Amino acid sequence: MRVGVDVGGTFTDLVALTPDGAIEVRKVATTPEDPTVGMFRALDALAGAPHAPAIELLVHGTTIATNALLERRGARVVLVTTRGFEDLLWLRRQDRAALYDLARHHPPPLVARGDVVGVTERIGPSGVLEPLTEGEVARVVAGVRTLAPEAVAIALLFAFRDPTHERRLAGALRDALPRVPVATGHEVLPLFREFERTSTTTVEAYLRPKVSTYLERLDGGVRKRGIGALRVMTSSGGTRAPAAAAAHAASLALSGPAGGVVGARLVGAAVGQSDLLTLDMGGTSADASLVVGGAPLADGGSTVGGVPLALPAVLIETVSAGGGSIARVDEGGALRVGPESAGAVPGPACYGRGGERPTVTDACVALGWLDADSPLADEVRLDPAAAERALRQLGPAAGSDSARMAAGIVAVAGAVMARALKRVSVARGLDPRRMALLPFGGAGGLFGCQLAEALGMGTIVIPPHPGALSALGLAAADERADLLASFHRPLDGLEPRALALAFGPLLAEGARQIPGGALPRFADCRFAGQGYEVTIPVDSDDPARIRDAFLAAHRRRYGHAGGGLALEIVNLRVVALREGPLPRFAGETRTGRRPVGPRAFVVRGERVTGSVWSLDELAAGVTIQGPAILAGRDATALVEPGWCGTVHASGAVLLVRT
């Protein structure tokens, strides 16, 4: 069987896809000092069950890279760069950190300024302008050795065009310092724009020692248990073998959230929805993302912890609206939610672990959405009285009673999330009204109807096991490697042979990394002079067909096709891919056809009595009229009045407006 393990901040989720299509879910507390402890605990519990099938594949979603960036606990890096441009990481793109807060600084680079070594050499757009001498190589090696780095990043101007200088420096440094990992710009991100490439190369060097140590240790533990193979989730939503992942440490920066988007895609495919807006609501924040045409939308320009990282990544927009987000009334009399969060410790007031300030989760308890009698995954029992006490601190401005205050908090949290969902879709020219909403995470399903109405969406997909969707995505994820090359040629007059020739090395490298996999080709195209590229599939070397595909994509995304402007191809991409299995979502084993009981709760300020259903037991074909609550072991969903749910064979619940 295939197993996905998602190590989150609070919980480690495990999903096993058994050969007969069943889905097994385990949840254990994360062991922050060493995440592999909790992970193996969950695996051993799974494997220890009688008749447990052998684990052929273990796919891991890790926050090790993300946390190293957020907490600034990576390697001490020396950056080797073209002389005269040593300050690139400090100059960034010259825009300031905040428009109106003039004291705000960008987060400092990952490298100390004293650890930058300038090299006398220069490559220009059409070749070497100043050669790199052997003497200079020796001087640089000596200079780097003196600084005694834990990792080295080499990023020279125009190395995406001509990597010879980077190669020579890397070779000399690897010979001289065999134990120090060396990352080069042309290997990490062979694309133009020097700041983004230098920053990304530095991230790679910064993360590599920590990531490779972790993955080696993990792989050892995996082998010891007789597990077939380990693979690691990357930011682009595909998996890599541990050695390849360790050599592309920066590609793991969004390993955690990528799993959820892949899981959303799988559920969407199972229920026939290929265009999805997804929302993962966690404890401190909510992540919005997109699945378009059955594939997670990838962007090439994210930042993690304020550090630009231009590798292919599943699009994630994070807003500070999670279950632990704290509510307050500001001095102008408006009710605000977040960005302050009660986090996992002490957590919401209703957890009874010392939290006193009102949070979104406290509001959900006060509204009767969460059941005080069912413990949460971490054996937490909800204390409604504590939630009420916390809410009342908000005072009369927030509402005349705690139910009104609670309704206000969920309305505000919903408004924050709706704005984020709108931003991610509109910024890419997509109309949310033509998409389905897929909320997940423990509390995402509670906000589905509210968000869908705010965005004019008519369909909501509540996935099976919404609290473990990321682990499910991991278990079924594709194997994937992203190969990139710079091209920069006008489309007019382009020889089809030239294009085929340029794709050649990428295809060969893709076939080497994923033998027998699919090798779809893509090109980043733009109108000449534009700053934005659109990635389009390249099915044919014929420039006319590339032009048509670009114009159609541009019109779809931006509403116009440029009116006769010249086109150019900027970058080439090959995605080496071997698809994972589509889980069978064995819905036939579910037998729940009746609600487990009625409950009184509050929806949009009205006290209603609705039915409560056991989310994990719903039989296919069951219909559920709102108001209703779908209570699962690790997540809860709310069906508001005016919405009706149908249980799909996969176990997903499709909500539509009545």
User: Residues 413 to 442: which contact other proteins by CB under 8 A?
Assistant: 414-416, 418-419, 422-423, 426-429
Positions 222 through 241 that interact with other proteins (CB under 8 A): none
Positions 292 through 351 that interact with other proteins (CB under 8 A): 329-337
Complex with other proteins: residue 67 or 530, whichever CB lies closer: 530
- Pick the binder of other proteins from 105, 223, 512, 545 (CB under 8 A): 105
- Pick the binder of other proteins from 55, 271, 412, 575 (CB under 8 A): 412
398 binds other proteins (CB under 8 A): yes
Say which residues have a Cβ less than 8 Å from residue 85's Cβ, sequence separation at least 6: 118, 157, 194
Spatial distance between the Cα atoms of 146 and 185, rounded to a whole number of angstroms: 22
In sign, the C-alpha dihedral spanning 488, 568, 95, 286 is negative
Positions 136 through 165 that interact with other proteins (CB under 8 A): 157-158, 160
Spatial distance between the Cα atoms of 172 and 438, rounded to a whole number of angstroms: 51
Which residue has 């969903």 as its token pair? Answer: 637
Positions 443 through 462 that interact with other proteins (CB under 8 A): 453-454, 456
Buried b (16+ CB within 10 A) or exposed e, 475-496: bbbbbbbbbbbbbeeebeebee
Pull the structure tokens for residue 416.
């924050």
Spatial distance between the Cα atoms of 429 and 435, rounded to a whole number of angstroms: 12
- Pick the binder of other proteins from 109, 296, 323, 408 (CB under 8 A): 408
Report in angstroms how near the CB of residue 393 gets to other proteins at its nearest: 14
Strand bridging mode 238-240 / 307-309: unpaired
With CB under 8 A, what is the number of residues at the site for other proteins? Answer: 78
The region of 36-44, 95-103, 263-271, 347-355 touching other proteins under the rule CB under 8 A is: 95-103
Q: How many Cα atoms are found within 13 Å in the side-chain-facing hemisphere of 132?
A: 26
Pull the structure tokens for residue 616.
């994990």
3-state secondary structure of 509: helix
Report in angstroms how near the CB of residue 410 gets to other proteins at its nearest: 10
CA 562 from centroid of its chain's CA atoms: 32
Complex with other proteins: residue 94 or 623, whichever CB lies closer: 94
Positions 186 through 205 that interact with other proteins (CB under 8 A): 192-195
487 binds other proteins (CB under 8 A): no
Report in angstroms how near the CB of residue 97 gets to other proteins at its nearest: 7
72 binds other proteins (CB under 8 A): no
Report in angstroms how near the CB of residue 52 gets to other proteins at its nearest: 48
Show the binding pattern over residues 534-573: x = contacts other proteins (CB under 8 A), - = does not: -----------------------xxxx-xxxx--------
Strand bridging mode 2-7 / 57-61: parallel
Report in angstroms how near the CB of residue 551 gets to other proteins at its nearest: 13
Report in angstroms how near the CB of residue 483 gets to other proteins at its nearest: 21
Positions 628 through 647 that interact with other proteins (CB under 8 A): none
**Gap between the terminal Cα atoms of the chain:** 40
3-state secondary structure of 653: strand
3-state secondary structure of 141: helix
The region of 203-211, 375-383, 525-533, 625-633 touching other proteins under the rule CB under 8 A is: 525-533
Say which residues have a Cβ less than 8 Å from residue 230's Cβ, sequence separation at least 6: 57, 58, 59, 60, 215, 218, 219, 222, 241, 242
Contact between 322 and 339 (Cβ < 8 Å): no
Pull the structure tokens for residue 221.
């533990």
Complex with other proteins: residue 196 or 634, whichever CB lies closer: 196
The region of 19-27, 64-72, 122-130, 377-385 touching other proteins under the rule CB under 8 A is: 122-130
Complex with other proteins: residue 157 or 546, whichever CB lies closer: 157
Complex with other proteins: residue 192 or 586, whichever CB lies closer: 192
